[in-house]
Structure 1
Amino acid sequence: MNLIVRNDMKLPILVGLLMLLGCTSKEAWHADLVPAIGKVTVNGEVPAGAIINLHPVAGDLDQRASRPSSLVADDGTYTLTTYEYGDGAPPGEYIFTILWPQDPKMGGLSPDRLGRVYATPTASKLTVTVPEDGSPIDPVVIDGAKISMKAPRASKGPGPGPGPGM
């Protein structure tokens, strides 16, 4: 079926389409955010490269069920992202999850150095509050954690070449 639109109808149709798109603007699914920066240590050690996720205690943040997340920097700090890099998080109380990959290059596909004890909201007993005024989140200090795997050692150069016949 071919649809023929007269020239005098193109503008009203375009305006109608733009109005429909406006109804699905980011305000419909975008929660209000504040700056959200924190710090974490595990047994006094910085879990550099660990993956942080916050799970709201009071239900979903928005229609998309967004979750603030971050990677832990070399100094133990993290800057939360909800929609765009470093944009923060909605104020409130959260379950704090952390997955510390053995191989940071593989991220969440690598085994967790903490044995998944803090990796899911059902397993983790850690909570944090994102303050309404955007002040730093209280530090998360994990003591007595069993670190099941050691971080990979830095390479001292190229390893042995391919095996026989390669």
Structure 2
Amino acid sequence: MTRILSRWGWAVIALISLLAAGCGGSDGRVPVNKTSGKLVWPEHKVLGLMVVLHPTDPAAPKLPAQLTGAVHADGNFTITCYDVSDGAPAGEYVVTIREAPMPDGTPRPKLPAAKYLDPKSSPLRVTTEKKPQNELPPLTISE
């Protein structure tokens, strides 16, 4: 009886090891790098706005969601790809601004000029690199 349990025990350990090795590889995610920055809009509140990064390279890998960062009252934001504040893949991006999801009853923020809302016309550009932390230069909205 002990010998049977021993064999089953080793079989279970071997199976778990094989499964763990199979899952330990790439999960299909594009590598991301922590990315943060600051949105500056002189004489305007930025709380309630969101920055969105749009890859400029048409061959950039497709991601499951847009790269976004909710802007805090002080203008700071961190980019989210897969998990909250995990960052963005290395590359060049056009940045647009949009309204962030806010709790019910929260006043809607003023949006900047239309050119900042469309990736085809936004003058805001950033580059992220393969490094532990990307601190983007300030993104300034001017009218």
- 1:26 and 1:46 map into 2 onto residues whose CA distance is 41
Counterpart for residue 80 of structure 2: 81
CA positional deviation for 1:78: 0.4
Q: Which runs of 5+ in 1 are unaligned?
A: 1-14, 146-166
- 2:31 and 2:124 map into 1 onto residues whose CA distance is 24
- Pairwise CA RMSD of aligned residues? 3.0
Counterpart for residue 149 of structure 1: none
TM-score (norm 2): 0.68
More strand by share: 2
TM-score (norm 1): 0.59
Counterpart for residue 130 of structure 2: 132
The alignment partner of 1:78 has SS state of: strand
Q: How many residue pairs end up in the alignment?
A: 120
- 1:59 and 1:127 map into 2 onto residues whose CA distance is 16
Segments ≥4 residues shifted beyond 6 Å = none
- 1:80 and 1:41 map into 2 onto residues whose CA distance is 16
- The Cα offsets for residues 4-39 of structure 1, whole Å up to 9 and x where unpaired, read as xxxxxxxxxxx9xxx9xx79x9733x1101100100
Is the contact made by 1:60 and 1:66 (CA closer than 8 Å) also made in structure 2?
A: no
- 1:72 and 1:59 map into 2 onto residues whose CA distance is 27
Higher RCO, 1 vs 2 (CA within 8 Å, ≥6 residues apart): 2
- 1:68 and 1:36 map into 2 onto residues whose CA distance is 10
CA positional deviation for 1:120: 1.9
**What is the letter of the counterpart of residue 118 of structure 2?**
T
Matches within 5 A, 1:23-102: 27-28=27-28, 30-59=29-58, 61-64=60-63, 66-100=65-99
Q: Structure 1 residues 68, 60: CA separation in 2 closer, same or farther (over 3 Å shift)?
A: farther
